[in-house]
Amino acid sequence: MTAPRALVAGNWKMNGLKQAVYEITRLNELINVNGATCDVLICPPFTLIGHLNSLSAPNVAIGAQDCHMNMSGAHTGDISAEMLNELGCGYIIVGHSERRADHGESSETVNAKAVAAQNVGATAIICVGETIEQREAGEALDVVTTQLKASIPDSATTDNTIIAYEPVWAIGTGKVPTAADVAEVHLAVRNQLLDRFGAGGDAINILYGGSVKGSNAAELMSVANVNGALVGGASLKADDFFDIIAAFGHIG
Ligand code: 13P
């Protein structure tokens, strides 16, 4: 089975006001001029999605950082996958560690959110990752594979699912795991996908996230079973983010 193109995705988290439009037009222009060998996605806050999707920036897909598991109803402050679909979101991140920690989201909740995303035709980017305490206790593989098993719905396919491995201790800290550690976790993720989905599991993209920047992207992205990146801080400025996209040009 042919894998989709690698994906470099930016997660703006709770950052970005209207002036951030500039970063999308700049990013689109950088890709126009220099090309890109991967797909490119930005997930801004909900408030900017409609606006950014109305720009003429065909090189940059716009996605969301979360959705509710239900399509409508009495859930004050929440946003449904159907609403995001109406805004043109083709990708929805679910189960980011910040949501698991800040909002107490369990892997079962994440699974239901992934189904909601898939049901509107979006690709769910399902996040997993261990804390520093879990890594130091030698539990990283166990934690990641357990989270993954419960978070991925049976409905997962190459087209509607992407996995993102983001060690919690690497997010926003400037610390990154060694290439060997990334390889070990990504292989465990790949093996679980193969066990569960057969040959289709080989073509599901697995992203690495956690302090990815231009200077370390080429090394991280060349690790086996790393099919792209999920980027926080370095995705906020188009020029920084493009350095990561350009790193793909140096691989393979
Ligand atoms: P940083 O790239 O800022 O470490 O954030 C990673 C992340 O959490 C992306 O979802």
Sequence spans of domains, the chain: 7-36+44-234
Instruction: Give the Å distance between the CA of 230 and the centre of ligand 1.
Output: 7
Q: Which amino acids bring their CB within 6 angstroms of ligand 1?
A: 11, 96, 166, 171-172, 209-212, 230-234
The yes-or-no verdict on residue 102 having pLDDT over 60 is yes
Rg (the chain; Cα; Å): 17
Amino acid 241: pLDDT = 98
- The whole-number average pLDDT for the span 3-32 is 94
Tokens 């206790």, located at residue: 137
Distance from C-alpha of 206 to C-alpha of 186, rounded to nearest angstrom: 7
Which class is 7-36+44-234 in CATH?
A: alpha beta
Q: Do 81 and 49 contact (CB within 8 A), yes or no?
A: no
CA distances from 131 to 61, 73, 99, 191, 204 (A): 30, 34, 14, 22, 24
- The whole-number average pLDDT for the span 166-175 is 98
Share of the chain above pLDDT 70, in %: 97
The yes-or-no verdict on residue 52 having pLDDT over 60 is yes
- What tokens does 173 get? 């800290």
Atom of ligand 1 nearest to the CA of 172: 4
- The whole-number average pLDDT for the span 20-25 is 96
Amino acid 252: pLDDT = 38
Instruction: Give the Å distance between the CA of 209 and the centre of ligand 1.
Output: 6
Instruction: Give the Å distance between the CA of 171 and the centre of ligand 1.
Output: 5
